[in-house]
Chain A
Amino acid sequence: MENFAPLLQYLISGLTNGAIYALIALGFGIIYNATTIINFAQGEMVMLGALCAISIYHVAPSLPLAFAGAVVLVTCVGLVFERLALRPVKDPTPIALIIITVGGAVLIKGVAMLIWGKEAYALPPFSGNDPIHLGPATILPQNLWVLGITAISVLALEAFFRLTLVGKAMRACAYNTRAARLVGIAAGRMVQLSFGLSAALGAGAGILIAPLTLGVYDMGTMLGLKGFSAAIIGGLGSLAGGVLGGLVLGVAEALATGFISSGYRDAVAFLLLLLVLFLRPQGLVGGRK
């Protein structure tokens, strides 16, 4: 019973981080489904989301405006990135494209450093900083925002892929690109859409976490790798897998931080990734072959 209070506390912070990882993981999955490549620039979209929101808030202190503005801006960055860096490639083998995304990530990070410098910026929490007491543990309003907006995003994504014609067309492209083109789906358009959608999800994740951590130009690298790990752990390309992978990873990290040492936090994430790759390479949920 003595350990129960901290355990609950760890769970809360683990689930919050996990929700952020899940959003990033979904971005990886969506692009993987459309192109079979891993977009290593995904983490930089998270950073751009956080920093753009902070800058917009600095000019016009309205959180909804900052949120929407940053998501729109970063979505455009995602679309432009696909259009300028990936589409013109003459012989688009997956490995060439993946290396381009790595280069893109370095470039975006460098440009962000030029614009925002190396210091960290804060975004105020969405609704105050008064902790809510939940039995022996406390929960910050921002944690609830993170969990709530993530849940809504996941449900909206699921509805988009299941119910709308464009969403179904994106799935069709993932299952069988040739057949999709033969029924008249412009596969290139779907790829572009997947980059826009992933950038939007990444930006959302960055804005949500900015009040909890701070926004800084190099925050994207680690978050991107964590999101990538979450996607692999859950099963790359699966919506449920991305969410599950993110939450498992977040909770595992929080438990390691709490019960062992905060120094092991990142090690736990990558240990988990290696374990999954060795024991269940298709991920917890399975995903595609």
Chain B
Amino acid sequence: MLKIKNLSAYYGSVRALSGVTMHVREGEIVTLIGANSAGKTTLLNAICGLVRKDGDLAFAGQSLMGLAPEVIVGLGLSQVPEGRQLFAPMTVAENLELGAYRRYRKESKAAINADLERVFQLFPRLKDRLAQQAGTMSGGEQQMLAIGRALMARPRLLLLDEPSLGLAPIVVEDILARLSQLRAEGVTILLVEQNARVALKVADRAYVLETGRIILSGAAADLLQDRQVTRAYLGRDYKEFTEGR
């Protein structure tokens, strides 16, 4: 569904990604793990058309190279950006409405309202807060709203950038559980995480990104056992390694 071939991305003249090749199949949950500044956010922004890039990038058979972000959203690819990036002074209802911004011209109000109901089923708490300012909600609720806003564009592929950032573990688990539910409803998911443990638990496959390159890939269950991954990203005790040898 998403094919990335030899993709490089730049901030000004600084190369933040070099030759990334990966893919996401329809119906999968794929996770991309890596430390701070490994290039995870850059990769997502390159996919969404926010940063300059070269290489090959195709979604559902169509090349995304040179397309503006607003066009890419229309193709069925939505991002939940790092740090939620809500329209903080606006209400929950307005945030959700703007999520469907590109659909109002083409689709019926009923179709959009049906998706609104879907979002409420996923995150019932949002329904009670429709008139509240988005910026005044708790971190977990803001993350729910950010995901809900992205879903309002009715994406076929959902990109999530560090949804666990700054949230209590119990909230993270709740939100990641929703991702499996979304997959069951037919949404393909690419999850970018620093919190490798939770990401690998929910994902089918995983890629490990380090200083702008993919250094490892495989089934999520295998990577959970991989020595290199466990040491670098799961923070398991070093002793455990040396003794397990």
Mutual binders A and B = yes
Q: How far is the CA of A14 from the CA of B150 in the complex (A)?
A: 49
- 8 A Cβ contacts from B112-143 to A: none
Interface string of A21-42 (1 = CB under 8 A from B): 0000000000000000000000
Q: A168-B97, A183-B149, A184-B73 are in contact. Are A176 and B85 (CB under 8 A)?
A: yes
Among B50, B78, B85, B86, the one with the most A-chain Cβ atoms within 10 Å of its Cβ is B85
Judge whether B50 and A165 touch: CB under 8 Å.
Answer: no
A69–B244 alpha-carbon span in the complex (Å): 83
Across-interface contacts of B48 in A (CB, < 8 A) = 182
Interface positions, chain B 77-131, Cβ under 8 Å from A, are 78-79, 81, 85-90, 94, 97-99, 101-102, 104
Q: Which of B70, B89, B101, B102 is within 8 Å of A175, CB to CB? A: B89
What are the interface flags for B42-71 relative to A under an 8 Å C-beta threshold, 1 for contact and 0 otherwise? 000000101000000000000000001110
Q: CB-CB < 8 A to B94: which residues of A? A: 168, 172
Contact-residue bracket for chain A? 10 to 19
A168 vs B98: C-alpha distance when bound (angstroms): 8
Chain A neighbourhood of B223, CB < 8 A? none
Give the Cβ gap from B152 to chain A, nearest Cβ, in Å.
8
Q: Tally chain B residues at the interface, Cβ within 8 Å.
A: 27
B153 within 8 A of A: yes
Q: Across the interface, name the chain B residue whose C-beta is closest to A179.
A: B85
Task: Identify which of A168, A172, A179, A184 contacts B70 (C-beta below 8 A).
Answer: A184
| B81–A171 CB distance below 8 A | no
Instruction: Give the residue name and chain of the B residue nearest to A172 (CB).
Output: B87
- Shortest C-beta distance, B233 to chain A (Å), equals 27
Q: Which 9 A-B pairs have the closest CB atoms?
A: A184-B73, A184-B102, A179-B85, A181-B69, A184-B70, A186-B70, A172-B87, A175-B87, A184-B101
Please name 11 further chain A to chain B contacts, defined as beta carbons within 8 Å, in addition to the given A171-B90, A180-B87, sorted by A numbering: A165-B98, A165-B104, A172-B94, A175-B88, A181-B70, A182-B78, A183-B78, A183-B98, A184-B153, A185-B70, A185-B98
7 CB < 8 A contacts A-B: A171-B90, A172-B98, A175-B90, A182-B48, A183-B101, A184-B73, A184-B74
